[in-house]
Chain A
Amino acid sequence: MTGGTRTAVIASWALLSPALIASIVFFAAPLVYLVVDSFRAFSLTAGVGGFTLGNYSRILGDAYYLRVLGDTFRLAAMTTALCLILGYPLALLLRAAPPRLKALMVIAVIAPLLVSVVVRSFGWVVILGEFGLLNQALRLLGVTAGFASTSHLFTEAAVIVGLVHVFLPFMVLALYSALQKQEARLVRAARSLGASTLRAFIAVTLPLSVPGIVAGTTTVFALAAGSYVTVSVLGGSKVMVIAILAYQQSIGLTNWQLGAAIGIVLLIGTTLILQLYQATLRRLFPRVLAV
């Protein structure tokens, strides 16, 4: 594509203007306002006060907040890793499947996205509860003591299971779109030169799919780090993440300013981690990840 003519460029800007105005009014302006608000003081007695760094020093100086921040990113990282491990074979399968089966599988992967996160998380409550489907199945298999007679809810494992379920479709779609762009003859060439299936996968398919891996892991990590519903349904009060803390402070305790600062810390933390991650991968795979 070359640069358009003047009229074409003007037409493009005209087409873009509704979305741009919407982005500014509904996205950029509130976000700027959030940043400003996060620097303001608040007390229950005096209300909103002047500008201060107090909200940030409170978050960064409090061991509890820091631990929750760490837990949030750890849960997000584990969710991302599991989505990648579980999703990659599925994406390979999607690529290999004959057209009719492929269409069916794409629907099966996308369909959960059409169901609200609340419903999907609640489904896991029914499965993982003390008298849930999982324990019933275990009892049928003859396991009665210990593991099969306790609730699996309100644990980190339950939260991770729920998060993986919610975000797996994003990962599979990102991986599939990268795999689909690869030329099948590259693998055939590797095979004809004597590489085993595994060798061809490691030397050709896997490195070429790195852009898809980056896209999928980045999306899943960002979404998982900010997830609220799944964590509160499956983690109860036992698993605390930064999104729940921000909500408690702002809605529960009406301290919007501290809530805003928590939101900003999450945003900056997520961005820093993802930038570092992408920079590392760019260094490891300079050829496939050229900017």
Chain B
Amino acid sequence: MKALFAYGGVLMVALALPILVVVIGSLTAGDRIAFPPEGVSLRWYRAFLDSPEFIESARTSLEIAGLTSLVSGIAGGLAALGLARTRFRGGGLVETLLTLPLAIPSIALGLACLIFYTALDLAGSKLALGLRAYDRDHAVRHSAGARQSGGA
């Protein structure tokens, strides 16, 4: 049992390590990201805040994340409720359809959406990106999983 706990500890440190390295490395005063950092400074954070492109990209990321969470949270939450309330013909099929995007390589789906929305003249818009992100809708899956183990 002790060996198991030691193993778990080591593995969890390994899981956190790459993230810690980036966080600490970002505080470097030097020109490259290295560990340990060459001096401590916030210069790269200033560089980020001083760059209009980075700020604009960050804003886009946040908009897409917000839009996606909102749409998939509402649609996914309602769907999970609908699946959990009653058992009906076609329910299993619907659940499969809603969770299928998880099993499809994201490169294929991304490409599919790009081609499709280009045909509709939507590509490149934030709307299209948000719609694409919706496909990875984990909300339904998690709620549906809770339904199964909770035995609603």
Contact = CB atoms under 8 A, between A and B. Distances in A.
B129 to A, nearest CB: 11
A12 B105 contact: no
Contacts of B113: 26, 30
Interface residues of B, number: 64
Contact of A31 (B18, B104, B117): B104
B34 A126 contact: yes
Contacts of A20: 79, 94, 97-98
A93 B106 contact: no
A109 B107 CA distance: 26
Question: DSSP class of B's interface residues: helix, strand, loop or mixed?
Answer: helix
Contact of A15 (B11, B20, B82, B131): B82
Given A30-B116, A260-B111, A4 B4 contact: no
Interface in A1-56: 1-5, 8-9, 11-16, 18-20, 22-23, 25-31, 33-34, 37
A163 to B, nearest CB: 12
B119 interface: yes
A20 B99 CA distance: 11
Question: DSSP class of A's interface residues: helix, strand, loop or mixed?
Answer: helix
Given A19-B140, A31-B112, A226 B107 contact: yes
Contacts of B75: 18-19, 22
A250 B107 CA distance: 11
A165 B15 contact: yes
Contacts of B108: 31, 34, 226, 246, 263-264, 266-267
27 contacts: A9-B88, A11-B85, A12-B82, A13-B88, A16-B83, A18-B74, A19-B78, A19-B137, A22-B137, A33-B115, A34-B111, A34-B112, A108-B16, A109-B12, A112-B19, A122-B22, A124-B18, A126-B33, A127-B17, A165-B14, A219-B103, A226-B105, A226-B106, A226-B107, A246-B107, A266-B105, A271-B103
Given A120-B19, A127-B18, A274-B103, 12 more contacts: A4-B86, A8-B86, A18-B78, A20-B79, A34-B116, A93-B7, A93-B8, A109-B12, A123-B21, A126-B33, A263-B105, A263-B112
The 10 closest A-B pairs by CB, nearest first: A226-B105, A123-B18, A4-B86, A15-B82, A263-B108, A19-B79, A34-B112, A30-B116, A30-B112, A16-B82
